[in-house]
Amino acid sequence: MVRLDDSTQKRLAIAGAVVTIVFSVLLGRLWTLQIIAGEKYTKMAESNRVRTISLSTSRGVIYDRNGEVLVDNRPSLVVAVTPSEVENEDVSFRLGKLLDMTSDEIKEKLEDKAVDPLKSRKVKYDIDENIAVYIKEHSADFSGVEIKVESVRNYSAPTTAAHVLGYLGEISGDELEHNKDSGYELGDLIGKSGIEKQYEEILRGIKGFQQLEVDASGKVVRILDENESVAGNNLQLTIDSSLQQATEKSLEEAIKVAQRDGHEDANAGAALVMDPNTGEILAMASYPTFDPSLFIGGFSSKQWADLNDKSSGFPLINRTMMCSYAPGSVFKPVTYLAGLMEGVVSYRSTFDCEGKWTGMGESWPRYCWNRAGHGRMNLSSGMSNSCNIVFYEIGYKLYKAGGEKLQKWAHEFNLGLRTGVDLPSETKGRVPDKAWKKKFNEEHPDYQAWVPGDTVNLAMGQGDLLTSQLQIANIYSAIANGGTVWKPHLGKKVLTAEGEEIHEFNREKVLDIPVPEDIIEKLQRDLRRVVVDGTAKRAFEGFSLEVAGKTGTSQVKGKDDFAWFACYAPLDNPRYVVVVLIEQGGHGGSVAAPAARRILAAAYDISSTGSLSVPDKSR
């Protein structure tokens, strides 16, 4: 037998140990892969064989109060691109030429690829069928590009009620994170504004899915499991589409009239029609407007910037409830009630209007809009003629009475708070008081004190008071119905996709104004006088409907006057509150009031003869 020397035996022992260790490691790894991690890798292998895809769903239809379709859906051919597969500049260039897009525009559509580079992004909607066929036939030249059929919004009248309806857009990375447990995926459409955003959960529907078995090349072998999509619920609004269109037309005409009459900066405005007995909004118009269908497929950053540039007039803003304005004389009914309820004036009080008021001293004069003066006025004629001197006096008396009594009555009408309307981004306005002024001027101690002129300005609907048009509609609704503020709303009913009613939005009381019936009736009579023989007389001459309302002309520093008119009709059984505002439009009686007349004429299908513009310079 051959005897190995010690060094050889040592080397063999080391080699044997190494082999043993290697096999032990291999056996251990095999144990780990097959036993410990077997389930994990089985699932990974399964995921390579089984693919789950989402199934699109139809968004709910939006109807007006009479069942007329405002928004439904239509199919659209869409080009979708998977960012991780489109690295070749040639592909982007060729695709861009087909879609009439630059490579940069395509890249911009894919800029959120960090969210998930394996998920396809839609780069263009409503492509021509010939282009879709070409891409499919030349799929080898368009790696990572696919053609889909998607459901997109279809608008019966493109700009009708645009601010009410809102628009859709692809969900962003931030929105995905915020809604991560709600089943959204990259590329999904989501409500961005208006009703589409407010009632997203009702309208969106539930996506289904398919589990597909695929082979090594990715071809579908069979469907393993399937869960059908559920269409979104339909929504019926309180809007009357025919009245909405008439309101939008009247608003646009009023702006043109203001421009024709020398107010060249009158480029914007709003008009609102509401049921004073329920808070239902029947028409809501804002100008300039926009076409929601333009949002199908999204905007480039330049297009978005242009749309939000000052020169565009900010068409995406709903001026009825997103903007705050000085209300001017349409606020005077609040001052009227505050004076009577706090006892600083009576219905028999008289006032001398000489065109100039120096109640706070000769150093702080105030003027009536009628510089020649109205002569002897009482509370009733002061309202019908919108005499500033009368309301300066009431404001000054309320100041001297102490206790911020005028602010108290502004709050009784819920001013300074959001109305709760079912639309996003509502402003709450502002009712200024001592605390607000002190805080606002914390860096300017000399301006912190609340002085008599602040209350006098407030009594006129000026100074630092800000309201939305919708808040003014609430005031006149409460006056019309005898003292109740109802929550404004646009939702009327929720229906299934098959048309079955599953929810009805009932009216919701916000508060009752603590004013006796006889005082409300006095105010109602005096607002009727505004139309019969006051500042709105010329606008409503020959009109067969009995209307009560108030003209307003608010002053804004550095701008032309803003024209207001707020009214309700018919007098004995009010069904409509109408509020019209023309920014920089001049006088309420000559521009806003005739527009309201046209809206009421449309509501009752009666003739509204005469020119829209009335040569009346009253406030």
At residue 96 the predicted structure's pLDDT band, cuts being 50, 70 and 90, is: confident
What pLDDT is attached to residue 611?
A: 39
State how far the alpha carbon of 561 is from the alpha carbons of 225, 414, 585, in Å. Answer: 66, 26, 6
- H or E element that contains 272: strand 268-274
The pLDDT tens digits of the residues spanning 433-471 come to: 999 999 999 999 999 999 999 999 999 999 999 999 999
* DSSP string across 48-65: HHEEEEEE--PPPPEE-T
What pLDDT is attached to residue 612?
A: 42
Q: How confident is the prediction for the chain on average, in pLDDT?
A: 89
Report helix, strand or coil for 252: helix
- Asked whether the predicted pLDDT for residue 1 surpasses 60, the reply is no
- Asked whether the predicted pLDDT for residue 378 surpasses 80, the reply is yes
- Report, as an integer, the average pLDDT of 346-375: 96
Task: Quote the CA–CA distance of 415 and 372 in Å, as a whole number.
Answer: 34
The pLDDT tens digits of the residues spanning 298-312 come to: 776 777 888 888 889
Question: pTM higher than 0.85, yes or no?
Answer: yes
Q: What percent of the chain has pLDDT over 70?
A: 87
Contact present, 316 and 295 (Cβ < 8 Å): no
Task: Quote the CA–CA distance of 261 and 615 in Å, as a whole number.
Answer: 9
Q: Where in the chain is the domain with CATH 3.90.1310.10?
A: 53-84+149-237
CA 47, 49, 52 angle in degrees (round to 5)? 60
Q: Where in the chain is the domain with CATH 3.40.710.10?
A: 328-497+507-512
**What residue has token string 């001027």?**
441
What pLDDT is attached to residue 18?
A: 62
Q: Which of 152, 127, 149, 188 is nearest to 74 (CA)?
A: 152
- Asked whether the predicted pLDDT for residue 217 surpasses 80, the reply is no
Q: Output 431 or 108, whichever has higher pLDDT.
A: 431
Report helix, strand or coil for 39: helix
What pLDDT is attached to residue 552?
A: 97
- Asked whether the predicted pLDDT for residue 283 surpasses 50, the reply is yes
State how far the alpha carbon of 580 is from the alpha carbons of 166, 190, 201, 339, in Å. Answer: 21, 32, 33, 26
What pLDDT is attached to residue 123?
A: 87
- Asked whether the predicted pLDDT for residue 117 surpasses 80, the reply is no
At residue 39 the predicted structure's pLDDT band, cuts being 50, 70 and 90, is: low
Q: Output 430 or 143, whichever has higher pLDDT.
A: 430
DSSP 8-state assignment for residue 33: I
What pLDDT is attached to residue 82?
A: 81
Give domain 53-84+149-237's CATH superfamily: Penicillin-binding protein 2a (Domain 2) (3.90.1310.10)
What pLDDT is attached to residue 104?
A: 80
Q: Output 20 or 253, whichever has higher pLDDT.
A: 253
Q: How crowded is the C-beta side of 36, counted as CA atoms within 13 Å?
A: 7
At residue 3 the predicted structure's pLDDT band, cuts being 50, 70 and 90, is: low
Task: Quote the CA–CA distance of 423 and 177 in Å, as a whole number.
Answer: 23
What pLDDT is attached to residue 107?
A: 78
Task: Quote the CA–CA distance of 320 and 361 in Å, as a whole number.
Answer: 38
The pLDDT tens digits of the residues spanning 227-269 come to: 888 899 999 999 999 999 999 999 999 999 999 999 999 999 9
Helix pair 89-99, 129-137: axis angle to 10 deg: 150
Q: What percent of the chain has pLDDT over 90?
A: 68
At residue 224 the predicted structure's pLDDT band, cuts being 50, 70 and 90, is: confident
- Asked whether the predicted pLDDT for residue 187 surpasses 90, the reply is no
What pLDDT is attached to residue 185?
A: 85
Q: Which of 276, 249, 245, 257 is nearest to 548 (CA)?
A: 276
Task: Quote the CA–CA distance of 376 and 422 in Å, as a whole number.
Answer: 46
Pairing relationship of beta strands 168-170 and 350-353 according to DSSP bridges: unpaired
At residue 617 the predicted structure's pLDDT band, cuts being 50, 70 and 90, is: very low
Q: Output 93 or 215, whichever has higher pLDDT.
A: 93
What pLDDT is attached to residue 297?
A: 78
Cα radius of gyration rounded to whole Å, the chain: 34
The pLDDT tens digits of the residues spanning 42-79 come to: 554 544 577 777 778 899 999 999 999 999 999 999 99
- Asked whether the predicted pLDDT for residue 587 surpasses 60, the reply is yes
Cβ neighbours of residue 293 closer than 8 Å, sequence gap 6 or more: 153, 155, 158
The pLDDT tens digits of the residues spanning 405-430 come to: 999 999 999 999 999 999 999 999 99
In 555-605, the DSSP E strands lie at 562-569, 576-583
Report helix, strand or coil for 247: helix
- Report, as an integer, the average pLDDT of 513-535: 97
Contact present, 317 and 453 (Cβ < 8 Å): no
DSSP 8-state assignment for residue 445: G
What pLDDT is attached to residue 115?
A: 54
What pLDDT is attached to residue 615?
A: 40
State how far the alpha carbon of 60 is from the alpha carbons of 76, 154, 495, in Å. Answer: 17, 11, 9
Chain centroid, CA 80 distance in Å = 30
What pLDDT is attached to residue 309?
A: 85
328-497+507-512 has which fold?
Answer: Beta-lactamase (3.40.710)
Sequence letter at residue 16: G
